[in-house]
């Protein structure tokens, strides 16, 4: 399963992501310690630095702010930062399909 591949220890740059507890929306950890709804606002970690982000995520789970914080591998592209894995790209972009005749 693709679910939450362990990205810690990856050579790729990393961001920390989670779902917000109260509404489930996808969020990323920002430099100011808050959670933002856009990947481009996320703080990027290299190597072991991510431990600090994961610790912040865990602390915010204890404070009922987010659920299931984990590290996500990203790559820099000319268009900006994108996740390495398909699963995380879908979390950034939303479903790739629209419902029939969306109202």
Partner 1 sequence: MDTIERHAPASASMYKGAGIYRYDDFDREFLRERVAEFRAQVARRLAGELTEDEFKPLRLMNGLYLQLHAYMLRCAIPYGVMSADQLRQFAHVARTFDRGYGHFTTRQNIQFNWIALEDAPDAIAALAEADLHAIQTSGNCIRNVTTDEFAGAAADETVDPRVYAEIIRQWSTLHPEFSFLPRKFKIAITGAPGDRAALQIHDIGLTAKRDAQGRIGFEVWVGGGLGRTPILGFRIRDWVPEDALIAYLEAILRTYNALGGRENIHKARIKILVRDVGQARFAELVEQEFATLPREKFRLDPAIVAAIEAHFTPPPFAAVPDAAAALAGAVAADAEFAAWVGRNTHAHREPGYICAVISLKPIGGVPGDCTAAQMDAIANLAEQFSFGEIRVSHVQNLVLPHVRQDRLHALWQALRPLGLATANVGLLSDIIACPGLDYCSLASARAIPVAQRIAERFADLRTQHDIGTVFINISGCINACAHHHVGHIGILGVDKKGEEFYQITLGGSASNDAALGDIVGPAYAYDDVVDAVETILRTYLAVRSPGEAFIETYRRTGLAPFREALHAAA
Query: By the criterion CB under 8 A, which residues form the site for partner 1?
Result: 1-3, 5, 19, 21-26, 61-64, 67-68, 84-87, 90-91, 94-103
User: Judged by CB, which is closer to partner 1: 31, or 58?
Assistant: 58
Give 31 or 76: the residue with its C-beta nearer to partner 1.
76
Rounding to the nearest 10 degrees, give the CA dihedral for residues 95, 40, 36, 28: 70
- Comparing CB distances to partner 1, the nearer of 7 and 43 is 7
In the block, residue with structure tokens 């933002």: 36
20 with 29: CB under 8 angstroms?
A: no
Q: Which two tokens stand for residue 69?
A: 């914080």
- In the complex, least distance from residue 74 CB atom to partner 1, rounded to whole angstroms: 12
């Amino acid at each position: 399963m693709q679910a939450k591949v362990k990205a810690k220890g990856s050579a790729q740059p990393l961001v920390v992501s989670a779902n917000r507890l109260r509404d489930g929306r996808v969020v990323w950890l920002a430099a100011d310690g808050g959670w933002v709804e856009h990947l481009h606002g996320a703080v990027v970690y290299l190597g072991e630095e991510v431990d600090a982000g994961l610790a912040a995520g865990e602390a915010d789970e204890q404070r009922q702010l987010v659920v299931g914080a984990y590290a996500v591998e990203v790559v820099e592209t000319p268009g900006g930062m994108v996740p390495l894995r398909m699963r995380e790209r879908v979390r950034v972009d939303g479903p790739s399909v629209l419902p029939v005749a969306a109202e």
